[in-house]
Amino acid sequence: MAQRTLIKGRATDDKNNPLPGVSILVKGTHNGVATTEDGTFAMYVTDPQKTILRASMTGYESQEITLNGRTAVQFLLKTSAINLKNVVIAGALGLNRQKKSIGYAAQSVNPENLTEQET
């Protein structure tokens, strides 16, 4: 049986804020974990010399790090310049589709029209 090595790490944004829910995957596999509320993660790998970890999260650029024998890593994710204007979150059947591809009524909410109120 192959030796397993514990790898610990943290994912933060460019302001050093922790990022919860970042997917940390061993590249080329389906083995992975998600970061916790404080942006940390822990996972086992079989070859810390050659393993490449990939961190990804919606709204951020993915990052890959080759462990090269390290057992601790830090992911610094930069915000992505992707255009989220055409993304539609549809509640019907739990499916997500672009607005032009759905065959039923859809509403859009302009975030500029939203206001924050105390309750």
CATH 3.10.20.30 is held by the domain 5-77: no
| pLDDT at residue 80, as a whole number | 86
| pLDDT at residue 90, as a whole number | 54
| pLDDT at residue 113, as a whole number | 60
Residues of the chain with pLDDT under 50: none
| pLDDT at residue 87, as a whole number | 55
* Strand intervals (E) in the chain: 5-13, 23-26, 32-34, 40-45, 52-56, 63-66, 72-77, 87-89, 96-98
Within 10 A of 42 (CB to CB), how many other CB atoms are there? 12
| pLDDT at residue 89, as a whole number | 56
pLDDT in tens, 24-58: 999 999 999 999 999 999 999 999 999 999 999 98
The Cα 31–Cα 68 span in angstroms is: 18
Domain boundaries, the chain: 5-77
